[in-house]
């Protein structure tokens, strides 16, 4: 397996007028291989989304080296980075950001409108993605007709339909009850093992992190330890 992503000595400092600088990231190094399922555990008050946004090319570090598929990201233009985000990376958040008037199938189809895919192929992909997350039978349901767990699965199906190689999940279980988050984490594990999706999960919950192959523990802007999880 090749390296999907290599971060080296990532630092992020926030400067505000008349205030001391805030050192959010103090030198983070991380290698993610193809088909890895990796969790990063943070205290709930940490700058957890800062690293996620940097990995997803939505934010720029203060100091960095970031190789994605062997290419140095900071040498790429904004348009090239946007193309990488569209074709390789998908975000899944704690809150679902679904549009109130669109059905589950229409929500899943949204990313394909920017990818020049025929309507027949798009419909085929949507059904396959919904079937993977056990929601094909709810394809016509609106968000208010779906449980929170089902809404989160729609978001995952939206990631699958793009064939994104890397799924970035930022506290995806935060709004779910214990039974539902266990089902969701089993789904992530299935996507990793059967569909070979590379997953980077950020959480403050040790039980959620235990579903990943390995966990990095972060404190004060650096990784303080790494552990291999029993799968």
Q: Residue holding tokens 């999960």?
A: 201
- What is the reported pLDDT for 164? 82
Give the mean pLDDT of the chain.
87
Domains contained in the chain, number: 1
Beta-carbon contacts of 131 under 8 Å, excluding residues fewer than 6 positions away, are none
- What is the reported pLDDT for 75? 85
Q: Counting Cβ atoms within 10 Å, is residue 8 exposed (0-12), middle (13-18) or buried (19+)?
A: middle
Q: Alpha-carbon distance 24 to 12, whole Å?
A: 6
**How many C-beta neighbours within 10 Å does residue 167 have?**
22
- What is the reported pLDDT for 108? 93
Helix H or strand E encompassing 228? strand 222-228
Q: Alpha-carbon distance 79 to 19, whole Å?
A: 34
Q: How far is CA 22 from the centre of its chain?
A: 25
Q: Residue holding tokens 């193809």?
A: 34
Mean local confidence (pLDDT), 208-217: 92
Q: Residue holding tokens 């940097």?
A: 54
Q: What is the pLDDT of residues 54-90, one digit of tens each?
A: 999 888 888 878 888 888 888 888 898 888 888 888 8
Strand order in the sheet with 71-72: 22-33, 3-14, 63-68, 71-72
165 pLDDT exceeds 90?
no
Q: In 18-100, at which residue ranges do the beta strands (DSSP E only) sit?
A: 22-33, 37-41, 63-68, 71-72, 89-92
Q: What is the pLDDT of residues 171-195, one digit of tens each?
A: 888 777 788 888 889 999 999 998 8
Domain that holds residue 137: 3-228
Tokens of 121: 């192929």
Q: What is the pLDDT of residues 123-161, one digit of tens each?
A: 899 999 999 999 999 999 999 999 888 988 998 998 888
| CATH assignment of the domain containing 143 | 3.40.50.300
Q: Could you tell me what percent of the chain has a pLDDT over 70?
A: 97
43 by DSSP, 3-state: which?
coil
């Amino acid at each position: 397996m090749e390296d999907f992503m290599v971060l080296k000595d990532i630092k992020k400092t926030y400067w505000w007028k008349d205030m001391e600088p805030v050192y959010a990231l103090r030198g983070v190094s991380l290698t993610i291989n193809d088909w890895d399922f990796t969790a990063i555990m943070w205290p709930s008050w940490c700058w957890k989304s800062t690293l996620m946004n940097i990995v997803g090319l939505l934010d720029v570090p203060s100091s960095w080296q970031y190789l994605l598929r062997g290419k140095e990201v900071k040498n790429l233009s904004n348009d090239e980075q946007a193309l990488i985000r569209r074709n390789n990376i998908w975000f899944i958040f704690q809150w679902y950001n679904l549009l109130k008037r669109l059905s589950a199938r229409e929500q899943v189809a949204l990313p394909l409108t920017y990818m020049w895919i025929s309507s027949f192929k798009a419909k085929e992909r949507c059904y396959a993605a919904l079937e993977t997350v056990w929601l094909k039978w709810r394809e016509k349901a609106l968000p208010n007709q779906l449980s929170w767990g089902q809404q989160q699965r729609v978001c995952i199906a939206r990631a699958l339909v793009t064939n994104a190689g890397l799924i970035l999940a930022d506290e995806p279980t935060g709004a779910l009850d214990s039974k539902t988050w266990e089902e969701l984490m089993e789904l992530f594990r299935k996507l990793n093992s059967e569909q070979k999706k590379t997953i980077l999960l950020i959480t403050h919950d040790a039980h959620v992190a235990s579903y990943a192959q390995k966990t990095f523990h972060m404190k004060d802007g650096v990784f303080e330890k790494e552990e291999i999880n029993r799968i």
